[in-house]
Amino acid sequence: MKKNIIKPSILPGFMELLPNEQQIFNDIVSRITKVYEENGCLAIDTPIIEKAEVLLAKTGGETEKQVYSFQKGKNNLALRFDLTVPFARYVAQYYNELVFPFKRYQIGKVYRGERNQKGRYREFYQCDIDVIGKGKLSIDNDAWVISLASKAFKSIGLNNYRFQISNRKILKGILNELEIDKTNEVMILIDKYNKIGKEVFSKELKSLIGAEKSEYINKVLDINGTNKEIIGELLKLKIDNKDFIEGIEELNKVCYILSILGVGDEEFEINLKIIRGLDYYTGTVFETILTGNEGYGSICSGGRYDNLAENYTNNILPGVGISIGITRLFFVLKEIGFIDKYEMKNKLDYLIIPIGDTIKYCAEVMRYLQKNGKRVTVYFEEDSLKKKMNYANKIAVSDVILIGEEEVEKREVKIKNMDSGESKNLEYRLL
Amino acid sequence: MKKNIIKPSILPGFMELLPNEQQIFNDIVSRITKVYEENGCLAIDTPIIEKAEVLLAKTGGETEKQVYSFQKGKNNLALRFDLTVPFARYVAQYYNELVFPFKRYQIGKVYRGERNQKGRYREFYQCDIDVIGKGKLSIDNDAWVISLASKAFKSIGLNNYRFQISNRKILKGILNELEIDKTNEVMILIDKYNKIGKEVFSKELKSLIGAEKSEYINKVLDINGTNKEIIGELLKLKIDNKDFIEGIEELNKVCYILSILGVGDEEFEINLKIIRGLDYYTGTVFETILTGNEGYGSICSGGRYDNLAENYTNNILPGVGISIGITRLFFVLKEIGFIDKYEMKNKLDYLIIPIGDTIKYCAEVMRYLQKNGKRVTVYFEEDSLKKKMNYANKIAVSDVILIGEEEVEKREVKIKNMDSGESKNLEYRLL
């Protein structure tokens, strides 16, 4: 009977890694997780499938088109497209059982049917922290969540990142004072600043709000210098607007607390062009670029919102959050050569190879090594020594333990270091 | 404007936990993962959504009806219903890049639209190990994967489990010798033995294959005693059939290697009634019961199969695997009171509460404690001391550090132990 073989393949736009890279991916996730847990964030987990009416309570336009939705029985279902909406639902649902401020993290897959292109994935891991308050939430948290992103990056050995921080209230105040009613259009335009360049931006802004106001906004966006200098220049504008003043105060405080929390001056900068699209953000907003590789866009973004769960509850729940798209980040880190040089700390320590019927002693040695915190496995197959050593080479274990009858008799354990790769350079040492 | 509030809720049949239980769930997962990694298993991750034709290459009947499948664009998609089928696809797809024997583990969510009933979930975590060989695979691996389940259970403090092990070849051989052609029907009936009871079983078996043969099979299934005695009784049957003899030899070897690998006599037993439905298993099969709570069924099952990926490749890939349904396991552990008594090792160690403007010193103390491996967070909100202490009580942290201006001046850190729960019993000690 000839069998019908189906070609093994996955859908386009889905990331799947070979074991070597997968171990690195998982190591990155576990280091980030460790940072979040060391800092008192509580993990939650929500279903990947939810009621469509719940997930799509707010969205519309582009996002909704990208959502994977379908029917099962009489239910309209959808796959979550981020972790924020399910979290809003979660907080509203268990409001009475949660302790606020609620510091939570969540790592999980989300789904977006994006156009297929390199480095964009339809299934990707997000790794979010959000702090939610009951009615109010200290601005210190805005700095705190960014400081955790800083710690997370450092924990994986990444150094060339820079947080670009702003506060939406500043621009909101300015636009208000200028009596500009096309707020959204201007915001969207500023959000595109880096993509379209100063020249196109200025032209489009001018046609949107006229020469005079456009010039003023350009002047604001051109402010640069140290964070202190930028704050100073903003204050010199002497705009008497509540939002504007609050925005500057908050931004100043965030910078201050960041320093206090150990985030170095070189790690962050004020960038008034940061908007974060038309998301739900209302105060602090930030993105994270890789310096020298800005073209890849933000690798970690977030901000402050006034009311997280307004679609699900009348309780006011302000919060601040950050999100790292780990699948995308991994892609970028591969592109810039970071993954090639990534140092795995959790590799297999020992491969034990029995020669002859020595399995009992092999198991004893394995137990001993594992009790001492080592990662160990035994090669069980009956193969030639050559094949066994070939396996050891391929799995990139550094130490191999060969156990023949002589070793059993003498209760010896000889460790062969594989780093040289050549058998004549064997270096035996006694355990 | 009155807002349209959507009731926050999730679909029936989906497990969602409050933070306290979620931390325990995650702790269980991370302990099991640690065991797998210490023993040299490599993690892989596959998409939750796959091509329907690939996922459904083999299944039919009940499983196929339960699968979540849908269309997106012109693609027929399905959500994975286990981790074995995607793994088979993975191994076939990357055959040339993998090192065999390939010892992999995978933890992830799978989906089955089961009838809604207590303790049955439509989204649940599976946690699988499989070892795959190229053309051949030592029987030692069958014992090894079971020994990892044993280590996994011990690592979470679970002791009252027992592996029930058999080998399909034994019954296959017997049925062959008895010239029974209704093999599948008999297998299915034996699989139901415990559910329907001896009497019903015997009656149905008799009507299926007649009195004489039925009596013989009943005699075999009634064999009991120690593992050694059962093997002895089987040998006494003196059935000269290749499968039968191989099955006994393999079962005997698995028991021997289990002991060598440190699995205690009390942890496993031969049980000839174990079949594992009509799955792809061909040799070793096992289930795991909770002694004293057998009614919950198997909490970990698996076995040996001759050819994992036959739907996707002509390469012969024998393997052996185990699967723990962690979501279901968690439900069962809750039911039997295990979760209530579960001891979390990774709780928050310290909550630092600033009194007045002492945040700078608080951050310094936090850094110091975290450098020493402690889990620490700061309470940033400006609240009354009462409210702050109330928070500390609610989040169940054992030590609180209050930092006022006096502490800053003296560079002191006073730790208040919360275990007593009463403020008069405070126990201060110097760091």
pLDDT in tens, chain B (431 residues): 456 899 999 999 999 999 999 999 999 999 999 999 999 999 999 999 999 999 998 766 667 788 999 988 888 999 999 999 999 999 999 999 999 999 999 999 999 998 878 889 999 999 999 999 999 999 999 999 999 999 999 999 999 999 999 999 999 999 999 999 898 899 999 999 988 999 999 999 999 999 999 999 999 999 999 999 999 999 999 999 999 999 999 999 999 999 999 999 999 999 999 999 766 899 999 999 999 999 999 999 999 999 989 999 999 999 999 999 999 999 999 999 999 999 887 789 999 999 999 999 999 999 989 988 899 999 999 999 999 989 998 887 888 999 999 988 988 888 888 776 544 333 434 44
SS3 A107: strand
Q: Please tell me the predicted confidence (pLDDT) of residue A46.
A: 98
Burial class (CB in 10 A: 0-12, 13-18, 19+), A279: middle
Q: Is the peptide bond before B101 cis (omega within 30 degrees of 0)?
A: yes
DSSP line for B88-126:
HHHHHHTGGGS-SSEEEEEEEEEE--PPP-TT--SEEEE
Q: Which two tokens stand for residue A353?
A: 């190879």
- Helices A183-191 and A211-222 cross at an angle (nearest 10°) of 40
Are A38 and B394 within 8 A, CB to CB? no
Are B89 and A346 within 8 A, CB to CB? no
Residue B374: list chain A partners with CB under 8 A.
Answer: 38
Are B48 and A51 within 8 A, CB to CB? no
- Nearest-Cα distance to chain A for B277, in Å, is 24
DSSP state of B134: S
Are B367 and A262 within 8 A, CB to CB? yes
SS3 B225: coil
Task: Choose among A23, A313, A374: nearest Cβ to B43.
Answer: A23
pLDDT tens-digit readout, B95-118:
999 999 999 999 999 999 988 788
Burial class (CB in 10 A: 0-12, 13-18, 19+), B115: exposed
Task: Choose among B26, B90, B381: nearest Cβ to A138.
Answer: B381
Residue A73 near residue B114 (C-beta atoms within 8 A): no
Are B43 and A22 within 8 A, CB to CB? yes
Q: CA–CA separation, A93 vs A78, rounded Å?
A: 18
β-sheet bridge partners, residue A103? A131
Interface A–B counts its CB contacts (< 8 A) at 236
Are A377 and B140 within 8 A, CB to CB? no
- Best of A1, A2, A3, A10 to disrupt the B interface (most B CBs within 10 Å) is A10
Please state the three-class secondary structure of B248-317 as a single string: HHHHHHHHHHHHHCCCCHHHEEECCCCCCCCCCCCCEEEEEEECCCHHHCCCCEEEEECCCCCCCCCCCC
- Nearest-Cα distance to chain A for B22, in Å, is 6
Flag whether pLDDT at A59 surpasses 50: yes
Share of chain A above pLDDT 90, in %: 79
Evaluated on CA atoms A289, A290, A295, A296, the torsion sign reads: negative
Residue A92: list chain B partners with CB under 8 A.
Answer: 8
Flag whether pLDDT at A245 surpasses 60: yes
Are A136 and B3 within 8 A, CB to CB? no
Task: Choose among A99, A123, A313: nearest Cβ to B47.
Answer: A123
Structural domains of chain B ordered from first start: 12-154+292-346 (3.30.930.10), 161-288 (3.30.930.10), 350-430 (3.40.50.800)
pLDDT tens-digit readout, A396-416:
788 899 999 998 998 888 888
SS3 B70: strand
Q: Is the peptide bond before B19 cis (omega within 30 degrees of 0)?
A: no
Q: CA–CA separation, A310 vs B4, rounded Å?
A: 9
ipTM for the predicted complex? 0.93
Are B113 and A72 within 8 A, CB to CB? yes
Give how far Cα A84 sits from Cα of A42, A87, A105, A400, Å.
15, 5, 11, 47
